[in-house]
Amino acid sequence: MTQYRKLLLPLITTMTLAGPALADGDAGIGGKLYRACLACHSLQTGVHLSGPSLAGIWGAKAGKNTGFVRYSPGLKAADFNWDKDTLNAWLANPDAMISGTTMKFRGIAQNGKRADLIAFLRLAMVPGGSGDVVAKGLVTESFIQGQQPPNMQPTPKHKQITNIRHCGNAYFVENGNGDKTSHWEKNIRLKIDSQATGPAPGTPVIHGAGMRGDRFSVIFSSLDELKNTLKEKC
Ligand code: HEC
């Protein structure tokens, strides 16, 4: 009995200090749980959605993904690497780890689920890992892409804008078919989509027209294009 106690006591003390170690999870189940991340992340190098690409960041420094310019100050200044333990804390409660993080995700409470997801991420987030997890049948290609916006090209003529001007409280628009329409300014949203899947440079696009077509977005390929195309002219 005394012998057991001698063995158990240091074990319990270490576990309390470090927190219970995360058991190894099941990457197959983890691949299915990864669905929760698709709205904001891709696993393709350099393809950033509302969150940064997760490709190749296993073992890399947090908050340093090239080309992602919207890190919160906390994550940008972080000085740790992504591994099993740091991901475990992050996925349990992002805001508890990095206060003020812009990852609006309430976290995964169950240890077992986090372990499964991390087992998947360990395969998917190493360089070249996204190809491997598809080859192994853990996820389909659509999970690697994440929920990227639909490709705007090629754009049908009636959705191409050949002329747009602002006058008074209205926009006057001409489309690729030569149809001329006018719209109350508050019904039109101006957007920029600079990604390769966005509008072709030089051709702003009408997007998301409702049933009656009186509300829609006009999407430009760059800020310069917006500034050069759209003028106040009556
Ligand atoms: C609602 C959108 C959203 C969802 C859902 C989401 N994330 Fe994020 N994620 C973000 C944003 C935004 C950031 C950047 C946070 C910041 O800068 O504070 C981020 C950052 C990260 C990072 C750090 C990346 C780096 O470059 O250091 C990891 C890892 C991550 N998320 C993993 C996940 C996983 C795994 C899931 C699914 C369980 C998930 N995220 C779900 C938006 C999201």
Supply the pTM of this predicted model.
Answer: 0.82
Closest atom of ligand 1 to CA, residue 125: 29
User: Residues 57, 83: contact at Cβ < 8 Å?
Assistant: no
What's the pLDDT score for residue 211? 57
Alpha carbon of 103 to ligand 1 centroid (Å): 5
What pLDDT shows up at residue 209? 73
**In sequence order, which residues have a C-beta less than 8 Å from that of residue 80 and are 6 or more positions away?**
61, 62, 86
Pocket test for ligand 1, best of 29, 75, 105, 125 (most atoms within 8 A of CB): 105
On whether both 99 and 179 belong to a single domain, the answer is no
Query: What's the pLDDT score for residue 17?
Result: 42
pLDDT along the chain (234 residues), means of 10: 49 46 90 98 96 98 96 98 98 97 96 97 97 97 93 93 97 96 95 92 89 86 97 96
Based on the fold, state whether residues 126 and 207 are members of the same structural domain. no
pLDDT score of 18: 45
Residue 165 near residue 231, CB atoms below 8 Å: yes
Range of the domain at 9: 2-145
Q: Which of 29, 38, 41 has the most ligand 1 atoms within 8 A of CB, as the residue to mutate?
A: 41
Check residue 12 and give its pLDDT: 45
CA–CA gap between residue 124 and residue 30 (Å, rounded):
10
Residues 161 and 103 in one domain: no
Same structural domain, 164 and 135: no
| Same domain for 21 and 134 | yes
Same domain, 182 and 135: no
How many domains does one find in the chain? 2
Residue 150 lies in a domain: no
- 170 and 60, same structural domain? no
For residues 141 and 161, membership in a common domain is answered with: no
Pocket of ligand 1 (CB under 6 A): 36-37, 39-41, 50-52, 54, 57, 62-63, 65, 71-72, 75, 82, 91, 98, 101-105, 121
- CATH of residue 71's domain is 1.10.760.10
Roughly how many angstroms between the first and final C-alpha of the chain, as a whole number? 94
Give the residue from 96, 119, 145 where a domain finishes. Answer: 145
Residue-level pLDDT at 84: 97
| 107 within domain boundaries | yes
pLDDT value of residue 213 = 72
Query: Alpha-carbon distance 53 to 82, whole Å?
Result: 14
Cα angle vertex 77, ends 72, 79, to 5°?
A: 130
